[in-house]
Structure formats: structure tokens, C-alpha cells
Amino acid sequence: MVAMLGVSMRLVDDQRNPFNEYETKAHSSNVASCYVSSQVGQPFSIEVDNSIDIRHVLGGEYVIFKIFVDGVHVDSQLCAGMTTEYVHGAPVSNNTQRRFVFSDLMLSTDRTVQRDWSPLERFVEVRVHRVQPHLHSPPLGTEPAFLNRVDVVHARNAFAGRHPTSRRENVPQPNERCSLTYLDSKSSPYAVLRIHYRPQELLEARGSVPRPSPYTSYKENPTPTSRNNRAPRTKQEPIVHMMGRLTL
């Protein structure tokens, strides 16, 4: 869980089990991040939590989580103090969301395609603002967030092993809207929480996740034997398992 100043976020699966997190760290007094392992075709949801105690907050305990996926603002989630909320996808109407899912990367050998790694940077980010909601205001219309854009990168970047997030099937999800008064400047969030997602192989290559050992050792038979009937010792050679290589 990436946490800062009483607010937190994490990615969870369909059973709300959290993804394993690696390299969790704070970059400043209000910015924190971590890495998680991702797989193509795997759906996920975003869990956000507001643990700010109203006794220590001037003007109220509400916060709004502005959610960005791969740099696209997909939705905003209002959250009262001591409350946890779940965002399952990007809204396509006032009552429907389309699920988040890790998708494959499209490659091209066209020389005009950008070869820089910067477009391959993938992460889920929430920018948190303290707010005062006006819950009885008329709801605003929902503008869909489009994540099904085609991301094409040069084939030479395939070894980077990164993939984007796209949308899957539609799921019912009421999207209630209200007007807000921001207690923090929109350009200066109260906190910024970021989760980078990468395939397991890439996390192992960068040292974020320990590689499994290629050696397997066997212990000698622990069953006691008499001195006269003891079997002669044989040298135990380590058995080497061939590790699969990521191919392009």
C-alpha cells in the first residue's frame, strides 16, 4: 500500500486481494510510489483510503482522489474520512464503468515510430485534494475517459517488457457527481500516490524482485543407521534448472 499523510492507494484483483508491492518509497513530503507485477489480460481495481481524522483537519475530512492511468485522467473519487472506496474502471455513462485490464503492447518496425522509452512509462497515479463537497448540488454529466487508444512502439523497445492498461467489459457502477470547494490548490495536491506496473520478468531484471535460485540441493538421508551398515557417502552434485529466456 502506498500511503502518505493519512491517504493511501493500492491495486487489487477481483477478490480484492492486493498486488504484491516492491520498492515502496517516499520521494518528498507528499509524494510516494511503488512497483507491482502485472500480467497481460489481468483485470484490476484501484482501492483508495482516506484515514484523515476530522479532528485534525480544518474545514472537514473529505478528499477527492483524481485518478490517472498511463497519464489519462479516467475518473475522480470522493471519499469521506475513515472510508475506503473502490474504482473498478473508467466511466462510459452515469451508471456504467468499463473494467481496467492490463493489455498487450503493439509493436512496429516502421522507422517513423518513436523509439524513445518515455511513452512506455506505465503507472496508476492518484492526486489527492482536500475538499468541501456540496452534496445537494445537481449532478454533473459524466465525460467518458478513453483508454482504448492504440499505443504503438518500435519493435526495438519490445525488450523493455512494458504494456499499457485498456478497458474490458462494462460493469454497472453508479457515478454520483457533486460540486466541490477545493481546500488545496488544484495545481498543488495534498498528496500524490503512484504505482508503476511491470511484468515479473522486468522487475526481476531490475532487481526489484529476487530471482528464483537456479540451484536445487538435496540433503542426505537423515534416517539413522548402524555404524557397520552405514551406506557410503556419495557426493551430492547441484542440479541446475535451465531458466527460460524472455524472447522478442
Identify whether the C-beta of residue 118 lies closer than 8 Å to the C-beta of residue 154.
Answer: no
Instruction: Please provide the average confidence, as pLDDT, over all residues in the chain.
Output: 75
Cell of 41: 489480460
DSSP structure string for 194-229: EEEEEEHHHHHHTTSSPPPPSEE--PPP-S---STT
Structural domain boundaries of the chain? 2-205
Q: For residues 162 and 68, which has the higher predicted lDDT (pLDDT)?
A: 68
First to last CA, the chain: 33
Strand ranges (E), 13-61: 21-26, 31-38, 43-50
Separation of alpha carbons 70 and 38, rounded Å = 14
**pLDDT band with cut points at 50, 70 and 90 for residue 134:** confident
- Residue 134 near residue 181, CB atoms below 8 Å: yes
Q: What is the structure's pLDDT at 224? A: 55
Cell 491495486 locates to 11
Cut 0.75: pTM above it = no
